[in-house]
Structure 1
Amino acid sequence: MKFLVAAALAALALPYAPAQTPCAKTSGTTLTGIVHDTTQAIIPGASLTLDGGPAEASGADGHFRFACVPTGTHQLSIAAQGFATQTLTVKTPHSASLDLILQLQEVETQVDVSGDEATSAANSAASSGPTQTISSSRLQSLADDPDDLLRQLQQLAAAAGGNPSNATISVDGFQDSSKLPPKSSIAYIKVNPDQFSAEYREPPFGGGRVEVYTKPGQPAYHGALFATNGSPWMNARDPFSTSKAAIGKQRYGFELSGPVRKKGSDFTMTLEHRSIDNFAVVNAITLDSNGNQQRTVANVATPQRLWIGTARLDWQLGAKNTFIASYNANVNHLQNVGVGGTALAEAGYDSQQYEHVLRVSNITTASAHLMHEARLSFKWDGETDSPTSTAPQLQVAGAFTGGGATLGPQRIRELAIEYDDDAILTTKKHTLKFGTQLWFYKENQQLTSNFNGTYNFGGGSAPVLDANGNPVPGQTTTITGIEQYRRALLHLPGGTPTAYTNVAGTPNINFNLFQNAWFIQDDYNVGHGVHIAAGLRYYWQNNPTVLSSATPRMGILWSPDKKNRWTLHAHGGLFAGRYGKGDYAEVTRMDGVNRITSTIYNPIYGDPFINSTPIHSIRQFSPHISNLTWGAWNIGGTRVLPYGFNLSVDYYNGRIWNYTRSNNINSPLNDSPYGPRPGPANLNILQMQNSGQGRVNAVFAGIEQHSFKRVQFFFGTVRVNLLDDTDDNEFSTPQSSTSNAGELAYRSNQNVWNIFGNGTFKLPAGIQLSTNFNGGGERHFNITTGFDNNGDGNFNDRPQYAISGQTEVIPTPWGQLVASGGTGVFPRNKGVMPWVFYLDTNLQRAFKLTRNAKAEHQQTLTVNLRTANILNHTNVTAMGGVLASPLFNRPFAADPGRRVEAGLRYNF
């Protein structure tokens, strides 16, 4: 770690080439304006550079802003895809807002000129760090498929140090997470904008943030038709499968854009359909008809049928006012969800999911110093689930999951309303942004989780049997879950299930959730290349009620040289979490009144309620529940190196307190489920508390090159050393309610190391090769016994270290372990998975169909061949964590193998 920091800081001090980018002077003014075309249609994502300095991108409303421009004469360059690059002379101070008009670009100009992103990135060291803006040619290099595109963006967001799966996806400036729109509708993407700004809730380690901004309409009618196909013969056999399945994918759709009226109003719309014929690989240990263990491997069809549609209207209401309305629809039908790995086909379910979003925005430029934006969205989303079987589920620890799904037929419906209102006020030395963010959720959920019941076969102590299946007097042994299940089927001693759980009552859960945040952020230009940022964010919500969430933030940026070839920055601040819909729904689901959750230990298999005493479980919020709090600071820098290379280095450090987790505050005092308890008998009270802790440090380094004509690339790596005792899960429970020993550990399935990058290679004959890759290592998984030795209702007990001379010892990479009766505390998440590595490529060639280079409607045909996981690397996603089970410490599930698809796109 120290070597990485030292090497990175040393690189920042390397000799540098003559600078091109001016630094902020002691005095200056704000330069603002709007970019549009000859029909007054706004142009988002345009790249603007002042005197060849760091690039700024015009927003979704076409507006741009340079915070501090020295008095004098400057050269302003504007570039946007499909338009001719324009350079003009600007004198400052300039009190009025600039009105920039771009002309359509001729085809000849497009052939030999690099994309706008390449030009601006070469002069902007900031774009190579955790904060990135993706547009133009780099955006085109990303995957077309929505799922593949999401994975690539999540991995880029992981540069901030978070778990990729937790990345927030926002669209057109709205804060709430949403589905990705079709790639063809995207103008540009911001990955991890300044997360120390008070405008954002998420800490740098919270998963990262991806902001997607969609395209406005065009001044003339333009469109495209596209189709892609991936046939079974093109794709590789999936890992752990013994035979190749009929894997395929087809996508097709169109996009259309044009004017609504002659000037100042336009529209754009897209529609696409995707059919995926994927297969889940079952890789489990089951029993044959004679009760012998056998490996069961099967390809189970998991088809998906997805429709995505968008429509957007932009209306210029006046010289200072723009109205934007958009509608997004996402409807997906999935079959055999939950199948794969040790989960058999009978444990799956079908799911019909949808999301419809209506968004409206109004942007008002009151003056050259004040801009106001109001945004309102309505989102209707939900799903309907249908299980393959409603039989009780069978969970045989470390072997297989069968029976039925854990849910019955259920419906989930949600209405989400978001309102954002913010303003930007600029003065000579200050840029002040302030606003409010309001969310309202109306939930109508029919949750049938575990209404059909679940048998758990975790193994444990059992009598030794002779050849005839009779117990040997006075002899016991520890058996696995699958041996316990075998004995249950044959009605042999030791065949009693470990436990049976179920839920009874009404499945209907209805509630409303309010969330609101206020923020204010100021950027102060001190002069001499120094900028100071300070902000404050306050958050509150109901269900549960949280009021004490005021989080200040502060940052400083310094460019030591007048040419701005390198910068140093430091940030610090507090961050607060929030309790989501799922948290309140789960606590309500297990309220113990409308729904009764029961656990029966050692039940009769097939008739668990006979001669049994159920243990009930409820969930509740602590009476003094508060918000979790992060404290984080960061130092780093960017450096423009010779020959157009840009280096970025950052170091993060953070502390977490008031972290939320659950604890059984009514655990039995003698480790027996039916023993005495502090409170009511035979009742587990799982209370959500602020008892969790955590700490983190991370190092990021990235380098990019976008000035070469034929080759452009970005490469980055981050090492995240994050430990906590909650596993980033409010419902996570320690193995013991009375001890926290061994709980502080790495999070489950989160990489310690992440590497990522992309490259574009311009080959002869107009062929272009694009690559995107990411890898991760040191993902951890938990080692458990499958037992509930302390009777607290949580089957997460970990093994112990064996005592010298002890029997039934299991040799492991971490030493000699036993399920019980040993010594010491075995740490949580001690297991480590293999590295994963994904390399995706796209090879394409565009053919011009229009001979007249000045024709208004240029026509092109683009042919491409795209691959995912081209190296066919086995990317393991799950390993056996149950001690002594058949799959212990063995991988049994992985992401798909190589996928190949060919595509055609006709633009007109």
Structure 2
Amino acid sequence: MLSFRTVLKAVLIFSVAVSPVVVRAQQASATVSGSVADPDGALIPGATITLTPPHGKASVVQSTSDGTYALHNVPAGTYAMTVTMQGFATYVKQGVHVAAGQKLSLDVKMQIQAQQEVQVTAQAAQVSVDADSNASATVIKGKDLDALSDDPDELSDELTALAGPAAGPNGGQIYVDGFTGGQLPPKSSIREIRINQNPFSAEYDKLGYGRVEVFTKPGTDKFHGFYTVEGGDKSFNTSSPFLGETNTQPDYHTVFMFGDFSGPISHSMSFTVGGSHRTIDNNALVYPSGYYAHSATDTTPCQPGDLTCTYFPSYPEANRAILQPQTRSDISPRIDIALGEKNTLTARYQYNVSGSQNSGIGGGSLPTQGVNSEFTENTIQISDTQIVSPRIINETRFEYERDYNSSNALNTGSTLSVQGAFTWGGASSGVQRSTQDHIEVQNYTSIALSKNFIRLGGRLRYNSDSVYSTAGTNGTFTYNNLLDPCVTSNTDATSQAHCASITSTPCATANAGVSSYQCGIPALYNITTVNKPTISGSIADVGLYAETDWKVRPNLTISYGLRYEAQNRINSSHDIAPRVSFAWGVPRGQGKNPVTVVRGGYGLFYDRFALGDYMTTLQQNGTNQVVSSFINPGATCSPSNPAGCGASAPSRFKITQLGSGIRSPYTMQAAIGVDQQLGKLGTLSVNYLNAHGVHEYMSREFYTPNTSSATPVTSPYDFQFQSAGVFRENQLMVNSRVRLNRVQMFGFYSMSFANANTSGSGFVPTSNTNTRADYGRASFARRQFGVIGGTMQLPYSFTASPFIIAMAGSPYNIVTGTDPLGSTVYNTRPYFASGNSGSCVSSAAFSSTDTGGLTPVPINYCTSPANATINLRLNRVFGFGERTGQQAASQGGPGGPPPGEHGHGGGHGGGGGGRGGPFGASNSGHKYTFTLGVQASNLFNMIPYSAPTSTLSSAQFGKFTSLAGRPFANGTAVRTIMLTGAFNF
């Protein structure tokens, strides 16, 4: 077994061994040559070709009379290439990697001059065998960013959608400037977004498919800035179908302001600062699956045990919309300093603060469940990039983040929960305060050899949390909501004796018109005793890697690497993750670049144990906080008499701990696919993925059922986080990017088939001895999913940016709403009333009990509705002031290196890239630009229903009671419209 020290020593030996080879490697300068042609292929003499390094003097040459050019004595490094010629649009190519002694050929095809500049990227219209140039990746920059939302929350959902469904229950991950912690910055601060790039790189711990990398903007050598205001109002939007015919809803609005300002501080220093503020006076919609009250207009349910109560299928229409105001602000300054020709320092700070009122309300949670919360985050990121030699680049990065969360329940009374119907009373969350610290240190080295590009490095993360909590101290009463309170699926002796003891009429006998809530018969009572309200804990992990991209032949690249990971708190000190991939360009003839590239790869990817789950084990260890549970506590147990809850049944306490042998789960993923160049139009990529996950997290419950009323069992409910889950998934993914005249579009389609016996660490199997009982359709699998986005240049300086998302229905589970085994977990699935199938909208198709040889309903048997949304942004640009001509996209000051500095376009971040405000405002051709715009979400008002009520004991079984969340709807309205005004200089 390899120890951490052994692997670390091996990586250090490898680094030391390879350094002399690099130092002795040939240091000869390179030559960059090629031709410049117009769209018809005619050669252009007199064009100016500029090769700009991250620091130092640029190399400039003009094309000769035959349209060719040559730049000699070019030092090794990564450059931005710019080609200009009167009458033609400026040609820009970022991330031009030049190796020592290389003779690099780059042909340029220029476009006729238009109002916008042309940016050429490796993903635009050609395929490549570079590991970082897979056509299945999506690179969004410049005007393509216009298709995405300005709101960081909505932007996060859209980026997750663009990344596609990552394999397994844990999904993908978003990196900001190479870091895994922190909030997503406002779109105004984003320079570039890369999605699913180099999916089998050993540099990353997470699966490559589903990975999103966000890079922020550096400072500039000239002063630039913009300010934008967006606003939306109730009058612009359509309402929710759950508001009823009266459509009574208080006024609400949203105001979103954000901006950016950048410029030079000195000849070696530049800055940029961005920020935003949002005022969101929104509504939460209360729409329970029925509730009990004295009248149809009564907003306060009656107390349990009140037989004068009546069941109403819906909440009063005039009171369904509850005001839920929120405010959010952030500011993010960044400084880029050139400490020398070969050393760049970048420092970035981000401050986020937000507050919300009445959160926790909506759906079946009535207004008494409201919680007020606040959140504050401070993040510091420092990056130091050094060009050690023409072949070696080293980057050291550090991040410190501190988050503070607080929440206060507005009602301190007991929580009353009716299965499949509603929850009211006080919120069980109580008062909570949390202070979290995140520290991340990275060091990466890139080494360029003649046929190999080597990358190695490591990352150390430390996360800690200190939590003060009074959650659960108000007590929670759970009712089955059965119309026949004493004919239940509970078969243990305690339940039978409990029903036999009921003497009140009509609760003494089976009565189809009376529920357990009306009879005041709770099925479960939980109460938490807090002996130690403040709990502190931490988790740390480390990851080391080394990999190389070996260019065996000009049309064949083989990449292979090894990653080592370790984490404390669980059995995870030897996680070895090998990765290998290849890219083979199908030959086309001598001297011709391939237009078809076959790619494949295989790798292991580990998942880390979450700090939040570890904190649960510290809180619920049976000493710090004691959760006592009473099964069928009797009619004397009520919110007004909690002391009577132990009269009919003794309590058991609950503990949560790490299971014996818990370890890191890992996914074995293989992929094969084809990248195809579609002439000058764009690229198409088709990939098949197979993933097999083992040791996946789940929560298993170990307890002894109470089978005798004479000798009740008081052993604890022992919940354990375990690594007993598995999943298998097959995916077909199609990615395309098209650039045609004034239209630029990108998108993907995926089809997934997955089975699993867990959906994450919080999943509790129905059997505590047989996890196979829950193996079936995975809830995280999206059978079909598609996204299309882009920009279209319209006449009269209008720009349209559509963003379309379509998704097939997701699997969901049916439960009985009862706890027949007395486990305190309400996850029991019913039986088919007849045969082996049934309608998911009819409760008559299922039975809560096995009346004789009935077939159990499989897990996630039903499917929620398919949903789609078409979002559209329309902008009109007005330019004024002096004309600026065509702006080169590479306008960075002494910022970090341009994209691709650290390995064929797949670097860890850094600066470079163009400036400019939102909506492509920098393309107006004038010094000052004013932009007016409108953005519609769910333009065609397609109602996105979420899964219907799936609790069999609910009278609303099979009926829709809520809308799907973002990106399909925001909960308050189906279609929303925002107006925008922006000023840019």
Match of 2:262 in 1: 257
State the 1:122 CA deviation.
2.2
Within-5 A mapping of 1:738-777: 738-748=769-779, 750-777=781-808
| Counterpart among 123, 126, 147 of residue 126 in structure 2 | 123
State the 1:528 CA deviation.
5.0
Cα distance change on mapping 1:91 and 1:578 into 2, 3 Å: closer
Cα distance change on mapping 1:361 and 1:109 into 2, 3 Å: farther
Cα distance change on mapping 1:228 and 1:36 into 2, 3 Å: farther
Indicate whether 1:605 and 2:638 are aligned.
yes
| C-alpha contact (below 8 Å) 2:91/2:118 kept by paired residues | no
Match of 2:921 in 1: none
Match of 1:892 in 2: 961
Cα deviation digits, residues 356-389 of structure 1 (max 9, x gap): 1000000011112111000001101121101121
Match of 1:336 in 2: 358
State the 1:159 CA deviation.
5.3
| Counterpart among 221, 226, 249 of residue 228 in structure 2 | 226
State the 1:816 CA deviation.
3.1
Indicate whether 1:361 and 2:383 are aligned.
yes
Q: Where does structure 1 differ by over 6 angstroms across 4 or more consecutive aligned residues?
A: 27-33, 35-39, 75-79, 87-93, 125-128, 477-480, 672-677, 854-857
Cα distance in 2 for partners of 1:522, 1:827 equals 46
Q: What secondary structure does 1:859 align onto?
A: strand
Match of 1:626 in 2: 663
Q: What secondary structure does 1:451 align onto?
A: coil
| Counterpart among 478, 485, 497 of residue 462 in structure 1 | 485
Indicate whether 1:875 and 2:944 are aligned.
yes
Within-5 A mapping of 1:678-689: 681-689=714-722
State the 1:750 CA deviation.
5.0
Within-5 A mapping of 1:513-592: 513-527=539-553, 529-562=555-588, 563-592=593-622
Within-5 A mapping of 1:177-188: 177-188=181-192
State the 1:177 CA deviation.
3.4
Structure 2, unpaired ranges of 5+: 1-25, 33-49, 59-66, 68-75, 295-307, 488-498, 888-925, 964-968
Match of 1:661 in 2: 698
Cα distance in 2 for partners of 1:91, 1:281 equals 54
Indicate whether 1:864 and 2:864 are aligned.
no
Q: Which moved more, 1:649-658 or 1:115-124?
A: 115-124
Cα distance in 1 for partners of 2:237, 2:936 equals 9
Cα distance change on mapping 1:42 and 1:269 into 2, 3 Å: farther
Q: In structure 2, give the amino acid aligned to 1:758.
A: G
Within-5 A mapping of 1:836-847: 836-847=867-878
Q: In structure 2, give the amino acid aligned to 1:530.
A: L
Within-5 A mapping of 1:384-423: 384-423=406-445
Match of 2:727 in 1: 694
Cα deviation digits, residues 720-776 of structure 1 (max 9, x gap): 21221111x112111121233541133336532211111322211111111001121
Cα distance in 1 for partners of 2:328, 2:229 equals 14
State the 1:645 CA deviation.
3.7
Structure 1, unpaired ranges of 5+: 1-26, 44-51, 53-61, 67-74, 101-107, 489-494
Match of 2:742 in 1: 710
| C-alpha contact (below 8 Å) 1:662/1:732 kept by paired residues | yes
Q: In structure 1, give the amino acid aligned to 2:537.
A: F
| Counterpart among 285, 289, 293 of residue 288 in structure 1 | 293
Cα distance in 1 for partners of 2:586, 2:329 equals 52
Cα distance in 1 for partners of 2:709, 2:339 equals 69
Q: TM-score, normalised by structure 2?
A: 0.77
Match of 2:531 in 1: 505
Cα deviation digits, residues 22-71 of structure 1 (max 9, x gap): xxxxx9999899x998996999xxxxxxxx9xxxxxxxxx97489xxxxx
State the 1:527 CA deviation.
1.1
Indicate whether 1:112 and 2:143 are aligned.
no
Cα distance in 2 for partners of 1:798, 1:374 equals 52
Cα distance in 1 for partners of 2:947, 2:94 equals 57
State the 1:113 CA deviation.
3.8
Cα distance change on mapping 1:786 and 1:884 into 2, 3 Å: closer
| C-alpha contact (below 8 Å) 1:544/1:584 kept by paired residues | no
Q: Percent identity?
A: 26
Q: What secondary structure does 1:586 align onto?
A: helix
Q: Which moved more, 1:883-892 or 1:812-821?
A: 812-821
| C-alpha contact (below 8 Å) 2:206/2:607 kept by paired residues | yes
| Greater fraction strand | 1
Q: What secondary structure does 2:146 align onto?
A: helix
Cα distance change on mapping 1:478 and 1:425 into 2, 3 Å: farther
| C-alpha contact (below 8 Å) 1:416/1:440 kept by paired residues | yes
Q: In structure 2, give the amino acid aligned to 1:255.
A: D
State the 1:118 CA deviation.
7.6
| C-alpha contact (below 8 Å) 1:161/1:720 kept by paired residues | no
Q: In structure 2, give the amino acid aligned to 1:291.
A: C
Cα distance change on mapping 1:591 and 1:78 into 2, 3 Å: farther
Cα deviation digits, residues 409-445 of structure 1 (max 9, x gap): 1101011110001101121111111111101122111
| C-alpha contact (below 8 Å) 1:459/1:478 kept by paired residues | no
Cα distance in 2 for partners of 1:832, 1:32 equals 60
State the 1:784 CA deviation.
0.7
Match of 1:267 in 2: 271
Match of 1:646 in 2: 683
Cα distance change on mapping 1:683 and 1:819 into 2, 3 Å: same
Cα deviation digits, residues 515-567 of structure 1 (max 9, x gap): 11111111111115111111111111112352131111111111112522010
Cα distance change on mapping 1:673 and 1:557 into 2, 3 Å: farther
Q: TM-score, normalised by structure 1?
A: 0.84
Which structure has more RCO (C-alpha within 8 Å, separation ≥ 6)?
A: 2
Match of 2:146 in 1: 140
| Counterpart among 736, 739, 752 of residue 720 in structure 1 | 752
Indicate whether 1:789 and 2:833 are aligned.
no
